[in-house]
Amino acid sequence: MISMLRRVLPYVLSIPQYVYELKQIHSMTALRNWLYFKFPNLFSLPPFPPYITIELTTLCNLNCRHCWRPYSLQKRGVGSMTASSFEKIIEEINVSPHAPQVLKIGGAGEPALHHQFPEFMVALEPLMRRSVHTILYTNGALLDRFSPQEIMQWNITRLVVSVDGIDQQSYEQIRVGGSYCRLRQQVRNFREHRARTSPQKPWIEIRHVIMPGETLKHLLYFRRQWIAPGDTVKFQPVMDISTRMRVGVNTSQAAKRTGRGIRRELPIEYDGNVPITDGTGRFAGNIASHTIEELWLRIARRSSTLI
């Protein structure tokens, strides 16, 4: 019973985030896209990936104790996406008759550490006309390196800031190299600047991984602390590193069994490789030599064997 409650706790605590997502839905197409991401096995496979994740770099400025990045680097090494690969991805999205619903920028590293990060963000502008929502993940380095004015100029729909640990002491023990107080103040400053200029976006989502020993009381306290500097707080369970490495960057153990993760998202690693993320370590191909549609079709064939 206790283990079941622990499994559903992240979803219950994240209800305000889901409510926000539903409020952004203004058409039947948008509703279908939202439902597809939650329950992709109930729908036919779309001709183009509804979600695309781009890993700009595996560089990171923190050494988080629960992170799978060190294990990933043993296989893939440290590196960053080339400008030609990034431009090819954005161009294909821009000209495709089936644009994705969401473009996610994240992965094993901190995106803001890519040496061409500002140029990449400017290159996202054409996607605004395609109504592609862009989600940018950061551990806070983004707010260190760029001013609120710069960030507001980019086509970013949602800014996801990772904050683990329930207070300064636990945060700095888990996210080694980070400063809890500095991060909280930076998030607050950004929100205040946004309120003076554009109250709509980017939406600030605080993402918290629930660590062993954190109780409901701890998590409610955390939400009270961060709902003011941010806009919403979303919780997710901590995943065992060995499981994460077996399954892949963008899936869960459940996704491995059902093909759920494979059917809803195309992950593109910093070197252009597109992993099938079914735990086999296989790749669908590389973005340098294949189109997004070709890679998606290869993954689609694989997903059909997992349902």
What percent of the chain stands above pLDDT 90? 53
pLDDT band at 138 (very low <50, low <70, confident <90, very high): very high
Between 128 and 303, the higher pLDDT residue: 128
CA atoms within a 13 Å half-sphere pointing along the CA-CB vector of 25: 13
pLDDT at position 256 over 50 = no
- Mean pLDDT computed over 224-241: 86
- How high is the mean pLDDT of the chain? 85
pLDDT band at 13 (very low <50, low <70, confident <90, very high): confident
Name the helix (H) or strand (E) containing 292: helix 292-303
Task: List, as own/partner pairs, every contact residues 219-222 make where C-beta atoms lie below 8 angstroms and the sequence separation is at least 24, other chains included.
Answer: 219/9, 219/13, 219/166, 220/13, 221/166, 222/166
pLDDT band at 257 (very low <50, low <70, confident <90, very high): very low
- Mean pLDDT computed over 194-211: 89
What percent of the chain stands above pLDDT 70? 86
Between 242 and 62, the higher pLDDT residue: 62
pLDDT at position 139 over 60 = yes
Sign of the torsion formed by the C-alpha atoms of 59, 63, 67 and 72 = positive
Residue linked to tokens 């939400």: 223
pLDDT band at 280 (very low <50, low <70, confident <90, very high): low
Q: Which domains does the chain have, with CATH numbers?
A: 2-303 (3.20.20.70)
Q: Write down the pLDDT at residue 121.
A: 95
Name the helix (H) or strand (E) containing 159: strand 158-162
State the burial class of residue 169 (Cβ atoms within 10 Å of its Cβ: 0-12, 13-18, 19+): exposed
Q: Write down the pLDDT at residue 244.
A: 47
pLDDT at position 225 over 90 = yes
Between 146 and 250, the higher pLDDT residue: 146
Lowest mean pLDDT among 41-50, 74-83, 145-154: 41-50
pLDDT band at 2 (very low <50, low <70, confident <90, very high): very low
Q: Where are the alpha helices (DSSP H) in 105-234?
A: 117-122, 125-129, 141-145, 148-152, 168-174, 180-197, 216-226
